[in-house]
Amino acid sequence: MKWVVQGWRRWLAAWVLVGVVVAAAGAKHAAARRGHDEVHPTVEYTFGERIRFVARFSGERALQQVTLFYRPGGSWQGTLHAAMTLAPDGTATFVHDLKKSPLPPFSTIFYWFRVRRSDGTAYTTPSFSFVLTDNRFAWQHLSEGPFEVWWHEGDDVLAQQVVDAAAAGLARAENLWLAPAPEHVRIYVYADPRVLQQTLGAKGWVAGHASPAYGALFLALPPGPLQESETRRLVPHELAHDLLYRQVGDAGYHNLPVWLNEGLASLTELRPNPDYAVALKRAAAQDRLLPLASLCDTFPTDASDALLAYAEATSFTAFLLHRYGRNALHTLVAAYGQGVDCESGVQHVLGRSLWRLNRDWEAATFHRGWWYPIWEKARPWVGVFAVLLASLFLSAWLARRPTPSPDTP
């Protein structure tokens, strides 16, 4: 009986092996009947420098040209393409220069080939993909709920702090402005802000960045005594940008006024930036507050002016939230998501112009009365009026002054 069972097992294994061989041969012949060669693609890259695409084709007919098509996933517009260098053995290569043409870090790159043979026939291969990971570092990984954390320096405590800050930030965003719940968010943590800035091509003061189209957040959290507090500030801030994107989509997100986008993100932080209050107080005392209308499309690039812009956006958005409530803020975000302009959004949802809301905010925040806007507009003319008035008084005084007699000694 044992011999019979062993015999059946041998026969079954043999038939399985025959089936695999036949299936592989069938797939190969089927590909040949469809006019396709077998393609074996490989990708090698040095992050931030270059990507080398290689495709090896095996077939009976000679190849004339191979064209590479590739594009990052997400909201990337258009498809890149290049003619590959073709070797006699059917190997095609192309090198993409990441210094001249950067691609989004940690994005999924999709690529495929258009093959033309010497006999005039042509076909397109299936699509392949790879993730453009920063392979300069050995990344560690932790997943919890919708959050997936990747970091390259530090222990699991740092990763857990990031996850906890993300969860608390999500709860705060849901409570403040009814943010949607995300399905999956990837968070990449660098240890050096300079490396992060170089990776993203960002300005020298940037410590965090959200790429919501790719579902990724990028943070710089250097080791030290401030790491935990910065985690509680940066993680919820960048997560808020991702949540806003999920609420209104790509076009709607890019139509949001910058003051609202950054204001909501700053309000979501678990540890407010103490420099904001100082910047606001100083600017108000020096009468150099930025008009909110100037913060609709962009923020200043200068570091000190950018800090003031963030401070004003945070304070102004908090004022709107206190006066109108979270439902109104949620509706305001939705209205901008539909494409209305900066001025029309607040007018339609809140019933007041941006200029009036700016005035109301200054009055409530800096205790400036109703007369202050009038004084602000009239102030440039006060000096002119004072000089003119002094001239009139002087002329009148000279006219009334008695003229001395010629005989007066």
Give tens-digit pLDDT for 236-276: 999 999 999 999 999 999 999 999 999 999 999 999 899 99
Contact between residue 346 and residue 357 where contact means Cβ atoms under 8 Å apart: yes
pLDDT interval class at 37 (50, 70, 90): confident
Q: Is the pLDDT of residue 327 over 60?
A: yes
Q: Is the pLDDT of residue 26 over 70?
A: no
Number of residues in the chain:
409
Contact between residue 217 and residue 306 where contact means Cβ atoms under 8 Å apart: no
Q: What percent of the chain has pLDDT over 90?
A: 73
- Residue 266 and residue 280: Cα distance in Å, rounded? 15
- The CA–CA distances, whole Å, from 196 to 105, 213, 220, 224 equal 11, 18, 6, 17
- Residue 358 and residue 291: Cα distance in Å, rounded? 7
pLDDT of residue 24: 41
pLDDT of residue 210: 94
Contacts of 345 (CB under 8 A, 6+ apart): 257, 332, 335, 336
Residues 337, 338, 340, 344, CA torsion sign: negative
| pTM assigned to the model | 0.77
Give tens-digit pLDDT for 272-314: 899 999 999 999 999 999 999 999 999 998 889 999 999 999 9
Give tens-digit pLDDT for 295-304: 999 999 888 9
For the record, the structure tokens of 14 come out as: 């043999």
- Mean pLDDT across the stretch 314-320? 98
- The CA–CA distances, whole Å, from 216 to 108, 150, 159, 162, 389 equal 11, 11, 15, 14, 64
Strands 216-220 and 185-190: parallel
Q: Is the pLDDT of residue 91 over 70?
A: yes
Domain 34-131 identical in fold to domain 137-247: no
Fold of 137-247: Glutaredoxin (3.40.30)
- The answer to whether domain 34-131 has CATH 2.60.40.10 is yes
For the record, the structure tokens of 371 come out as: 């007369």
3-state DSSP: the chain helix, strand, coil percent, rounded to 5? 50, 20, 30
Domain locations in the chain as residue ranges? 34-131, 137-247, 256-383
Q: Is the pLDDT of residue 370 over 80?
A: no
User: Within a 10 A sphere around the Cβ of 114, how many other Cβ atoms?
Assistant: 16
- The CA–CA distances, whole Å, from 47 to 51, 54, 133, 205, 344 equal 8, 17, 7, 23, 44
Contact between residue 271 and residue 234 where contact means Cβ atoms under 8 Å apart: no
pLDDT of residue 15: 40
Q: Is the pLDDT of residue 124 over 90?
A: yes
